Amino acid sequence: LFAGPIEFLKGVVAMDGLPPADRVEVCFAGRSNAGKSTLINALTGRKALARASNTPGRTQEINYFSAGDNLYLVDLPGYGYAEAPVNVVAKWQALLKSYLAGRQTLRRAFVLIDMRHGIKQVDEEILTLLDRSAVTFQVVLTKSDKVKAADRDRVLAQVRGALQKHPAAYPEIVVTSSEKGQGIAALRAIIATMA
Ligand code: GDP
């Protein structure tokens, strides 16, 4: 799956800019600063494939990467910028809604959650949107190296509890650290089953 080259294909700002739905895709969502760019770079083994720092309020694009001929990796813009202008947020939400509800080839959304924080209200909004769009989503906890071993079970329990009320949730939670490499191979293997 990741043996072939992974290449940036395009940034999409409107539904009519989406590439042809001629292969399956998985998408990555997360609150800004959740570690999404770092994780995508770790997964693909490429540095700076996904931009590691996003500017709040800049044009929000859905970034498409091709992973071989069978799969697209789709990087959704981070959500939850406190300082993003209202019109930018509204435009982004409309695009996100259309994308999630209308993309037939979307197999799974990976929702990245900073393991130090667990699932917050701002995450709940996107999880609810995924439920309504009938897109199966899987939680990927990030930055596990920042959480003490003694605290990990508590966070996992909080996340499992929060997922109970989401019908679109895939039960298995993936714990990762891009820093230490934890969970990266496991996530890659999950993605490989989608293609
Ligand atoms: P994004 O906004 O979701 O794309 O988040 P970034 O990938 O830019 O990461 C946000 C910050 O968290 C950066 O300072 C990263 O270096 C840091 N970070 C990301 N992943 C990890 C991780 O696994 N461990 C640690 N310790 N820091 C991480």
Task: Give the per-residue pLDDT at 90.
Answer: 86
Q: What is the residue-wise DSSP string for 6-67?
A: EEEEEEESSGGGSPPS-SEEEEEEEBTTSSHHHHHHHHHT-TTSS-S-PPTTSPP-EEEEEE
Q: Whose CA is nearest to atom 18 of ligand 1?
A: 35
Q: Which residues line ligand 1 (CB under 6 A)?
A: 30, 32-38, 52-54, 78, 142-143, 145-146, 177-179
Tell me what pLDDT residue 44 has.
86
Among protein residues, the one with the nearest Cα to ligand 1's atom 21 is 143
Please name the residue whose Cα sits nearest to atom 28 of ligand 1: 143
Q: What is the DSSP letter of 180?
A: T
**Ligand 1 mean position, distance from CA 34 (Å):** 6
Contacts of 68 (CB under 8 A, 6+ apart): 1, 2, 3, 4, 5, 6, 195
Of residues 81 and 137, more confidence is placed in 137
Asked if residue 164 has pLDDT above 60, the reply is yes
CA angle (191, 28, 86) in 5-degree steps: 170
Ligand 1 centroid to Cα of residue 91, in Å, is 26
The sheet carrying 62-67 orders its strands as 6-12, 62-67, 71-75, 24-30, 106-114, 137-142, 174-175
Q: For 72-102, write each residue's pLDDT tens digit.
A: 999 998 888 767 788 888 888 899 999 999 9
> Three-state DSSP class for 111?
strand
Q: Give the whole-number percent of the chain exceeding pLDDT 70.
A: 91
In this model, does residue 133 exceed pLDDT 70? yes
Distance of CA 112 to the CA centre of its chain: 5
Could you tell me the domains of the chain? 6-194 (3.40.50.300)
User: What pLDDT score does 56 carry?
Assistant: 52
For the segment 63-75, the average pLDDT, to the nearest whole number, is: 93
How high is the pLDDT of residue 53?
Answer: 45
C-alpha 164/C-alpha 179 separation (Å) is 29
Determine the residue of 27, 33, 36, 38 to mutate for testing ligand 1's pocket, defined as the one with the most ligand atoms within 8 A of the Cβ atom: 38
Residue nearest to atom 6 of ligand 1 (CA): 35
Spacing, Cα 20 to ligand 1 middle (Å): 31
* pLDDT at residue 148, as a whole number: 97
**Residue 1 pLDDT class (50, 70, 90 cuts):** low
The pTM of this model reads 0.94
Helix axes 36-44 and 184-194, enclosed angle (nearest 10):
80
pLDDT at residue number 146? 98
Structure confidence by residue, pLDDT tens digits, 4-61: 678 889 999 999 999 999 999 999 999 999 999 999 999 988 766 665 445 554 557 8
8 Å CB contact between 96 and 15: no
